[in-house]
Homo-oligomer: A and B are copies of this chain.
Amino acid sequence: MAVTVHDVAREAGVSVGTVSRFLNGYRLREKNRLRVERAIKELGFKGNIMARGLKRRRSMTIALVTPDFDIFTTSITTAIEQILEEENYSLIICDYQRDKEKLKRKLLFLQERYIDGIILFPSNLAMSSKAILQKYVSQNVPVVLVDHLIPGVETDAVIIDNVNASFRAVEELIRHNHTKIAIISGRKDSQVCQERLQGYYDAMQMYNLPVCDAWTAWGSFTQTGGYRAVKSLCAGADPPTAIYTTNYTMTIGAVLALHELHLRIPDDMSFVGFDRFESVEVIEPTLTLIEQPIGLIAQNVAQLILKRIRQEYSDFATTIKLHTNMVIGRSVKRL
């Protein structure tokens, strides 16, 4: 069987209380400290997290709930995992596969697991899980939302300034004298999309440019979607001179489509992309794009939830809105 505090106590010639106090960072008499340390090493004592959790009401486990594991959510997830591991927390993952019911089921499932906190990528589907989320909050289980808010749920969140990001992307095109600018948006029902679209509208309006319905394409955030959107944009009667895509996979899809159409970036089509992952670097010419601060998002999420768990915060819900970078490449041509 596994080594327990009792074994350590016996070996070190002290009581279990002393061992436990040592483990929890209290000061022992020098002599005892050394004996306990030696006994722990000698016996290979590991501790039993379940016994500990039972007593302290802490499972040292945080759940991350997401509609999918695409490159964006996955990057954030792994970055969070690295940080949490340093603090001795484990990360349980739950993919609700963009399914409202599954989300609800997963959140209920987690209730039985005495999770110390929940990190949730809500997408637009979380509305119907408001009740259970509020239950978590009222039971003092911290919930941190990522990338997306849930109207009416007062809890911490880390989001991106999407409107501003889009505004700058489009402004960059406008500054290069583009007027016929198309946007490839994601899903109509997504808040993030609406915001990115809003930034586009804002920029167009600010510069008194007409917005043509035909220049708003929907790519459902997928590579295929981005690909198809470009094909249909370019097949239109009055094709745009510039395309702005609003997430990573659509960016790749769009580039593939432009390649196939033998439209060169930026000579035949100017282009601003979204998200900067390793894979985008390969594209020639280097793309001008909006870069989301993945590392910062992860850091803020991790810190926020750890602080909440450790009750180092006021009761007020905090929303952290992070700014994006614009990376200038060679994909925008001056007209």
Residue ranges of A at the interface with B (Cβ–Cβ < 8 Å) = 46-51, 53-54, 59-61, 63, 68-69, 71, 74, 77-78, 81-82, 85, 88, 90-95, 97, 106, 109, 111-114, 222-224, 227, 249, 252-253, 255-257, 259-260, 278-279, 281-284
Contacts and interface: CB of A to CB of B under 8 A. Distances in A.
Contacts of A252: 252, 279
A46 B334 CA distance: 63
A90 B223 CA distance: 30
Chain A at the B interface: mostly helix, strand, loop or mixed?
A: helix
Given A82-B95, A92-B92, A279-B224, A111 B46 contact: yes
Contacts of A97: 78, 82
Contact of A279 (B92, B223, B260): B223
Nearest to A284: B260
28 contacts: A47-B112, A48-B114, A49-B59, A50-B114, A54-B54, A63-B90, A68-B78, A69-B69, A69-B74, A77-B93, A78-B93, A78-B97, A81-B94, A81-B95, A82-B97, A85-B94, A85-B106, A92-B93, A222-B278, A222-B279, A223-B279, A224-B278, A224-B282, A249-B279, A252-B252, A252-B279, A256-B282, A259-B259
For the complex of A and B, 5 pairs with smallest distance between CB atoms: A259-B259, A223-B279, A50-B53, A227-B282, A50-B54
A92 B50 contact: no
Given A48-B54, A259-B260, 8 more contacts: A48-B114, A49-B59, A50-B53, A68-B78, A82-B95, A85-B106, A222-B279, A255-B256
Given A111-B46, A223-B282, A249-B279, A61 B92 contact: yes
Contacts of A93: 77-78, 81, 91-93
A289 to B, nearest CB: 16
Nearest to A227: B282
Given A113-B49, A279-B223, A279-B253, A78 B85 contact: no
A151 to B, nearest CB: 27
A220 to B, nearest CB: 11
A82 B97 CA distance: 10
Contacts of A259: 256, 259-260
A69 B78 CA distance: 8
A231 to B, nearest CB: 10
A85 B106 CA distance: 8
A175 to B, nearest CB: 27
Contacts of A253: 279, 282
